[in-house]
Chain A
Amino acid sequence: MAVTSPPSTRAGLGSEPQVPATKGGLAGRVFAGLSTGAGILILVVLAAVAVFLVIEAWPALTASPEELQEISWFKADSLLAYVGPLVFGTLLASILALAIAVPVSVGIALFISHYAPRRLAQGLGYLIDLLAAIPSVVYGLWGALWLLPILNPFFTWLSGTLGFIPLFAGYQAPAKNIMSASIVLAVMILPIITAVSREVFLQTPVLHEEASLALGATRWEMVRMAVLPFGRSGVISASMLGLGRALGETMAVLMVISPGFLYSLFLLKPGQQQTIAANIASKFPEASGLAVSTLIATGLALFVITFVVNMIARWIIARRKEFSGAN
C-alpha cells in the first residue's frame, strides 16, 4: 500500500512555479488570466481599503489634542490615549474568547474525527457549520436577552467566591461585562475553529495512527501522539481565523457590553472596556467632521492589529512547519 501523500497542495499558496504556458490553449490562457486577475483584485481592494483609511483618518491623525477635545465624547489627552484602551479592550475580548473557544473546538473536532460514530459525526459536522451561518446580530440578541440573565447567578457566585482575585471582583448585575461579551464571541468563532481543526485532524496519515495503535497505545495516546502534533499548525491557523472574526465583531459586543475606556482587567465589572468595532458602531451614526476621522483612525488601528495578528500566525505556522508535517 502506498504511503498516503501529505496534502502538499495546501502549502505555499501562490509560490508554486508557474507551469510554462503551452501555446494554443485558449481556455487555458483565459483561465490563467482570470485567476491572475482575481489575485491582483484582492491586492487592489486591500490597498484601496488601506488608502481610504489613511486618507479619511488623516485629519484626526494630524489634529492637535485641543482640536480633538472639541469632540464631545473625546476625553483623552491625545489620539493615542484614546485608541489605546480601545485596542486593549479589543485584544482582551478576543483573546478571552479564543481561550474559551479553542479547547472546546479542538474537543469537538476530535470527537467528530476520531470518536463519534460516522453518522453522528456527519450530523454534528453539519450542525457546527450551521452555527457559522447565524448572523452576528442574532448572536447579539441571543446574548443580550437570553444569555445575560443565565450568566447572572454564575457571575454572582464567581465574584462572591473568587472576588479576592481582582480579575473577578466588583461584579454588578446585569451581566453586561467583557466576560459575557467574550463568551458570546467564543460561541461565534467556535464553528470556524472546529471546522478547520476537524479537516486537519481527518488528514492525519492513517499509517501514523495505526502504527501507534499497533505499538499498544490507547486511543487517547494515539490522539496525543499522532493526531495532535500533526494538526497543531492547522489548529493554530484555525484559531487565527477565529481571532480575526472576534477582533472585528461589532453587533454582538455592542449589545452585550457596558462600555468603558480603561486599561482594566476587571472581567466582571461593568463600564471598563470597549472594543474598536463596537465603539465605531456606537458613535458613527451621530458623528460628523473630525469625529468621523477619529473613529476611522481607530478603524485604521484595528486594520493594523488584524494584520499583525495574521503575520504572527503565519510566523508560528512557518516555524512549526518542519515538526508537524501538515504542510
Chain B
Amino acid sequence: MLALTLAACGSNSTDSGGDATTDGAASGSTEDLTGTLAGAGASSQEKAVAGWIAGFGDIAPGVTVSYDAVGSGGGREQFLSGATQFAGSDAALKEDELATATDRCFGGEAIEVPLYISPIAVIYNLPGVDTEHLQLSAETLAKIFNREITTWNDPAIAAENEGVELPATAIIPVNRSDESGTTENFTEYLAAASNGAWPHEASGDWPLSGGQSGQGTQGVVDTVTGAEGAIGYADASRAGDLGTVAIKVGEEYVPFSPEAAAKVVDASPRAEDATDKRLVVEIDRTTTEAGAYPLVLISYSIACDTYDKAEDAANVKAYLTYVASEEGQARAAEASVAGSAPISDALRTEVQAALDSITVKS
C-alpha cells in the first residue's frame, strides 16, 4: 500500500547524484534511505510522533528520526533556523515566519499539512447519571466553565437532557493549569460557538483563576476523577471511564468519534492564505454539518518543499508520506499510541500532492 502512495513521486529528476537519487520514488526504496531526521515542536502530537517514528523505523531502518516536544512556538523557531528538518505545530506559520521560511527553504516554500487530528472530549464525573452522553450546547458549556451555572440540575442543563435525572451536585469546572493547545482549541470553540456566553478570548492559558486545575492531560483527568460533579476537557483518547459530553451541532448532539473529528476538518474552509502546499484549515467551530464534531485540535507537520541535501529531501518526503499514509494514520489512532482521528482519503490526496513537491535544490 505504501508503494502505491509513493508511486507518484517517480518524476523527481532534480536529484544530483549520490545514492539517494531514487529518493523514495520506487517501491520499497525507503529501505535504502539513510541519515538522521530531526524534528521539534508541539507536545500535543508527541505520542503520535513516537508511534510514527517506530513505524517508520520498520520501513526505513537506516533513518534515525527524532522529535523534541519543545512546544509549537519553539518547534517553528528551530525549524526556521534550520536546526531541524521538520516541525510539529498546533498553529500555522505566521506571516513574518512565512517570509523566513522562504530563506530557510532555499527559495522554496514551506509545506504545512494537518496530519494530527485529535478530538477533545468534555469529560465529567457523575456516577449516578444514567445516560451514555450528557447533551450540552456550547452556550451551556461556556456558562458552566465560566461558573455561571453552578449545579448539575440547573434548568439549562435539564432542558437539554430530557428524561435524565440530574443530581443537585455542585459543578466543579477543571481546567489545564499549564499552557496548552487543548485549552486554546477549547476556548476557541467556546468563544466561537457559544453566542457570546463565553466572555473571554481564545487562549492557550486558561483565562479564569481560582478554580480546580490539573497539570497536563493526566492531571485534568485525575482531578475530574477525584471529585463527584467535576467537569473538564482532555484529549478524547484519555477520557477512560469518565462520562463524555455530546455537543450540540446544528440541531443534533454529537458525541466525539474519530470519524466525526475528521469530518469537521473536511467540512471546514481553508485559511485565506492557504495554498496547495500549505493546507491550513480554519476549523469551523459553528459548523452545522451533520455528524461533525467541531471540538478538535489540529496539529500540523511543517516541512520545506526544497532542501539543499538530497538525503534530507528524501527522508522528509518518505517520513511524512508514511505519516500521511493509511497505515501511519491508523497507527496514531490506536488507543495505546495517541488515539487521534485518521485523516480522510480526500485530505490524504491533497497532502500527498503537497508532499510530492519536495525536491532538492537544483
Contacts and interface: CB of A to CB of B under 8 A. Distances in A.
Answer yes or no: do A and B interact: yes
A270 B222 contact: no
A174 B223 contact: yes
A288 B77 contact: yes
Interface string A245-286: 000000000110011111000000111100000000011011
A144 B172 contact: no
Contact of B226 (A148, A271, A272, A286): A148
Contacts of A254: 215
Contact of B210 (A73, A176, A272, A286): A272
Contacts of A288: 70-71, 73-74, 77
B281 interface: no
B209 A271 contact: yes
A142 B43 CA distance: 26
A145 B179 CA distance: 23
A5 B229 CA distance: 64
Interface string B35-62: 0000000010000000000000000000
B178 A258 contact: no
B227 interface: yes
A91 interface: no
B43 A149 contact: no
A271 B176 CA distance: 11
Contact of A174 (B74, B179, B204, B226): B226
Interface in A197-250: none
Nearest to B226: A174
Contacts, number: 86
B228 to A, nearest CB: 7
B291 interface: no
Given A173-B228, A174-B226, A269 B210 contact: yes
A255 B223 CA distance: 10
A72 interface: yes
Given A174-B223, A285-B70, A73 B213 contact: no
B12 interface: no
A73 B176 CA distance: 12
Contacts of A161: none
A258 B213 contact: yes
Contacts of A72: 179, 203-205
A287 interface: yes
A291 B69 CA distance: 17
Interface string B217-258: 001001100111110000000000000000000000000000
A264 to B, nearest CB: 8
Nearest to A177: B212
Main SS class of interface, B: loop
Interface majority SS on A: helix, strand, loop or mixed?
A: loop
Interface in B250-295: none
A268 B301 CA distance: 43
B328 to A, nearest CB: 25
Given A149-B226, A288-B74, A172 B212 contact: yes
Contact of A258 (B69, B177, B205, B228): B177
Contact of A255 (B69, B209, B219, B228): B219
A186 B228 CA distance: 28
Contact of A271 (B43, B213, B227): B213
B69 A271 contact: no
Interface string B101-113: 0000000000000
Interface string B178-204: 111000000000000000000000011
Interface in B283-316: none
A258 B77 CA distance: 31
Contact of A285 (B43, B213, B230): B43
B84 to A, nearest CB: 14
Contacts of A261: 209
Contacts of B178: 282-283, 285-286
B211 interface: yes
Contact of A286 (B71, B212, B230): B71
Given A254-B215, A258-B212, A286 B179 contact: yes
Contacts of A262: 209-210
A174 B69 CA distance: 30
A40 to B, nearest CB: 37
Contact of A172 (B172, B204, B205): B172
Contact of B71 (A148, A172, A173, A285): A285
Contact of B213 (A145, A148, A255, A270): A270
Contacts of A176: 212-214, 223, 226
A250 to B, nearest CB: 11
Interface in A285-323: 285-289
A261 B206 CA distance: 13
B209 A286 contact: no
A235 to B, nearest CB: 35
Contact of B177 (A144, A173, A174, A282): A282
Interface of A: 72-73, 75, 144-145, 148-149, 152, 172-174, 176, 254-255, 258-262, 269-272, 282-283, 285-289
22 contacts: A72-B179, A73-B179, A73-B205, A144-B222, A145-B222, A152-B227, A172-B172, A172-B227, A173-B172, A173-B227, A174-B227, A176-B212, A258-B214, A258-B223, A260-B210, A262-B209, A270-B210, A271-B212, A272-B210, A285-B43, A285-B71, A287-B71
Task: Name the 4 nearest CB pairs between A and B, nearest first.
Answer: A174-B226, A286-B71, A173-B227, A271-B210
Interface of B: 43, 69-74, 77, 170, 172, 177-180, 203-205, 209-215, 219, 222-223, 226-230
Given A172-B212, A173-B226, A174-B227, 9 more contacts: A173-B229, A259-B177, A260-B209, A270-B211, A285-B69, A285-B70, A286-B73, A286-B74, A286-B180
